[in-house]
Amino acid sequence: MVHSAEKRSDQKSTRERILEAALDIFSSKGYHDARLDDIVEAAHISKGSIYFYFPNKERLFLALVDQFADLIERRATEAIERQPRVGIDRVRAAIMAVIETFGKYRRPAKILLVQAVGLGATFEKKRLEVTDRFAAMIKRHLDEAVAVGEIEPIDTTVVAHAWMGAIYNLVIRWVMTGDPPAERIPPTLVPLLLRSVNYPVEENSG
């Protein structure tokens, strides 16, 4: 039993080391120029070890996307759960958490929002899947805001995807150029998004 637990721990450690090395290599070289040999060398593992967890470069790249998406969702869920009231407070918390997580993790954000674009149908499907996850989260809390009367009835599906588009556009610009700085995005963008659904926002509030 102890040996089994130790084995699972070692496997987790190896997998995490591979993902960390892959993040470094993909971030610096890009998907097309990155080689599994580079990742093997950076992770200090055997080539057989990497194939045990990931059969090819594509699966490794997609695993990084999933890992980052899980992190964003976890941060957003934690932020939402800290809000005692349903409705706009939770909408605001979710948006802030998504933006702040993108802002804190520039390298995986680059992989998800920049490198995954144009890599083919498999990658595009994964990127849309991630977008749908976060849009669904925002939609759910917009629906709550409508239900409790904080905002007028709207097409929350369209709004949620439009908001994700705005978030992505700003984060992509920041990832590529460093401008506008990540800390400047939430104070302006969040009130703008809330006003787009006719929710009254006080000046200088985010």
CA distances from 139 to 37, 90, 96, 100 (A): 42, 11, 15, 19
- Catalogue all structural domains in the chain, each as residue range(s) with its CATH number: 1-55 (1.10.10.60), 61-195 (1.10.357.10)
In this predicted model, what pLDDT tens digit does every residue of 177-187 receive, in sequence order?
Answer: 888 888 889 99
Select from 97, 78, 106, 74 the least CA-distant residue to 181.
106
Name the token pair of 164. Answer: 């994700």
Q: Could you list the pLDDT tens digit for every one of the 206 residues in the chain?
A: 544 544 554 556 889 999 999 999 988 888 888 899 999 999 999 889 899 999 999 999 999 989 999 999 999 999 999 999 889 999 999 999 999 998 888 888 888 788 777 788 888 888 889 899 999 999 999 999 999 999 999 999 999 999 999 999 998 899 888 888 888 899 999 999 999 999 988 755 44
CA atoms within 13 A on the CB side of 140: 13
DSSP 112: I
Handedness of CA 194, 196, 199, 204 (dihedral sign): positive
Residues 6+ apart with CB under 8 A from 199: 88, 145, 150, 151
In this predicted model, what pLDDT tens digit does every residue of 4-51 receive, in sequence order?
Answer: 544 554 556 889 999 999 999 988 888 888 899 999 999 999 889 899
Name the token pair of 91. Answer: 């909408």
Select from 23, 172, 32 the least CA-distant residue to 108.
23
Q: How many CB atoms lie within 10 A of CB 24?
A: 16
